[in-house]
Amino acid sequence: MKRSTHIIRLFFQLLFVVFFITCKGSEPAQKQEEQNPQYPKPGTLAPVETQKPNSDYKPAFEGQTRIAGIKTETPYEVSVIADNLVKPWAVISLPDGRLAITEKGGTMRIATTSGSLSSPIPGFPEVDDRNQGGLLDVAPAPDFETSRMLYFTLAERTEQGSLTAVGKGKLSADETKIENFQIIFRAIPYYDNSMHFGSRIVFDKQGNIFVSTGERSDLATRPKAQLLDNGYGKVIHITPEGQPVPGNPFVNTPGALPEIYSYGHRNAQGLDVHPETGDLWLSEMGPRGGDEINRIEPGKNYGWATITYGIEYSGKKVNEGITQKEGLEQPVYYWDPVLSPSGMTFYSSDVFPEWKNNLFIGGLSSKHIARLVIIDNKVVGEERLLESENQRFRDLGEGKDGALYAVTDEGRLYRISKK
């Protein structure tokens, strides 16, 4: 009796194990996929752009513009956490998770991620804050936690005119001022107007600095984007002391500025390093149409104003009206009619798995944030975020908390976080 009970119990135990294994094995593959989706996913919806383009120019390759749409699946919430910034131009996370924000007039703020703002922090030289100038971008030094050094770009104002400059200064212990501000690079020459200063600043993985500049807009200065003897319409690559990075592409070219990394840019207000590949990506404003995303390689010419997908504001063609030329780089992606791309950031956190390595770009006149999904250096999906907010999005930064933070010309600080 005792022995038969034991056998029956063993039989049922075995049956349970077999049943368990069978169930696990037959779990539908589709369900597993839902639990473990593979990102990035290409877009499958209609392109987000529905307006007529400015020109009849055709893209150089399929998917260079008006790519398929995509929609964020993860529930998220949008909050305005501050609305009293004065013309903010840049937002970036500090190592402790708070945000450094520049204001164009020449001050900086520190914000908590709940939107509590410091008083305006002074300590900068006089900036040319007319039109597109001012105190522009900010980036903490990689060793900020010990050095307290911050790096900036600004439109420096002098009696000879203005230019895009790069400077550094130390955030005082009590966080009330920037101390010993020093200019370490000037995108020469000085010029008396107030347009197309670029600019963004970003550290590469080696601790050197990339800076984008503009070609100062006028027909007189525009050709300088194609010449290597000046700092207009360039990406600059310098050490934290402002010296050319050894190995820069034009260090041995007679007459070229040794700080130049790439050229042929119009007005680049977006720059970021891809979190996985380490490549430098850049956004730049086209004229009417032809706003671009470029992946930057050393020594290359990105075409302005010889080739462009945009036209003059007057409606005329730019120069010969061509979009491709041997030896000039094609944009990875372009918009026509418009994005007006300003600051941008790659997303690297695990909080939104579907956003990982996506590129988020602030749109000014288009008044939304563009999300681009990228696979193998090609854009495969585009989404518009915060369209209903009706704001000019000037810059975006990824928070240490995996939220996205954005500042607008109207003075708002947004947080976009997982619900």
Q: How far is the CB of 64 from Ca ion (least distance, A)?
A: 12
Q: How far is the CB of 329 from Ca ion (least distance, A)?
A: 7
Distance CA(151)–CA(125), nearest Å, equals 13
Q: How far is the CB of 371 from Ca ion (least distance, A)?
A: 22
Residue 174 token pair: 């009590």
* 305 preceded by a cis bond (ω within 30 of 0): yes
Q: How far is the CB of 51 from Ca ion (least distance, A)?
A: 21
Whether residue 177 contacts residue 122, with contact meaning beta carbons closer than 8 Å, is answered with yes
Whether residue 396 contacts residue 362, with contact meaning beta carbons closer than 8 Å, is answered with yes
Considering only residues 41 to 70 of the shown chain, the ones binding Ca ion according to CB under 5 A are: none
Catalytic (active site) residue 196: yes
Q: How far is the CB of 303 from Ca ion (least distance, A)?
A: 4
Q: How far is the CB of 65 from Ca ion (least distance, A)?
A: 13
Q: How far is the CB of 140 from Ca ion (least distance, A)?
A: 30
Distance CA(139)–CA(153), nearest Å, equals 9
Q: Which residue is nearest to Ca ion (CB)?
A: 303
Q: Could you give the count of Cα atoms lying within 13 Å of 246 in the half-sphere of its Cβ?
A: 1
Q: Which amino acid is at 33?
A: E
Closest Cα to residue 412, out of 103, 198, 132?
Answer: 103
Q: What is the DSSP letter of 348?
A: -
Residue 148 token pair: 């307290």
Nearer to Ca ion (CB atom), residue 168 or residue 265: 265
Considering only residues 269 to 308 of the shown chain, the ones binding Ca ion according to CB under 5 A are: 302-303
Across 162-194, b (16+ Cβ under 10 Å) vs e yields: bbbbbbbbbbeeeeeebeebeebbbbeeebebb
Nearer to Ca ion (CB atom), residue 89 or residue 302: 302
Nearer to Ca ion (CB atom), residue 107 or residue 199: 199
Binding mask 161-180 for Ca ion (x = CB under 5 A): --------------------
Query: Is 276 exposed, middle or buried (CB count within 10 Å of its CB: 0-12, 13-18, 19+)?
Result: exposed
If binding means CB under 5 A, how many residues of this protein chain bind Ca ion? 2
10 Å Cβ neighbour count for 298?
A: 15
Nearer to Ca ion (CB atom), residue 107 or residue 267: 267
Nearer to Ca ion (CB atom), residue 249 or residue 303: 303
10 Å Cβ neighbour count for 326?
A: 4
Binding mask 70-89 for Ca ion (x = CB under 5 A): --------------------
Instruction: Write down the catalytic residue from 6, 196, 237, 265.
Output: 196
Nearer to Ca ion (CB atom), residue 302 or residue 333: 302
Q: Could you tell me where the beta strands, DSSP code E, fall in 291-368?
A: 291-296, 333-335, 341-346, 359-363
Q: How far is the CB of 267 from Ca ion (least distance, A)?
A: 11
Query: Is 21 exposed, middle or buried (CB count within 10 Å of its CB: 0-12, 13-18, 19+)?
Result: exposed
Nearer to Ca ion (CB atom), residue 153 or residue 323: 323
The side-by-side arrangement of strands in the sheet containing 234-238 is: 201-203, 209-212, 234-238, 260-263
Distance CA(260)–CA(301), nearest Å, equals 11
Positions touching Ca ion (CB under 5 A) are 302-303
The catalytic residue positions are 196
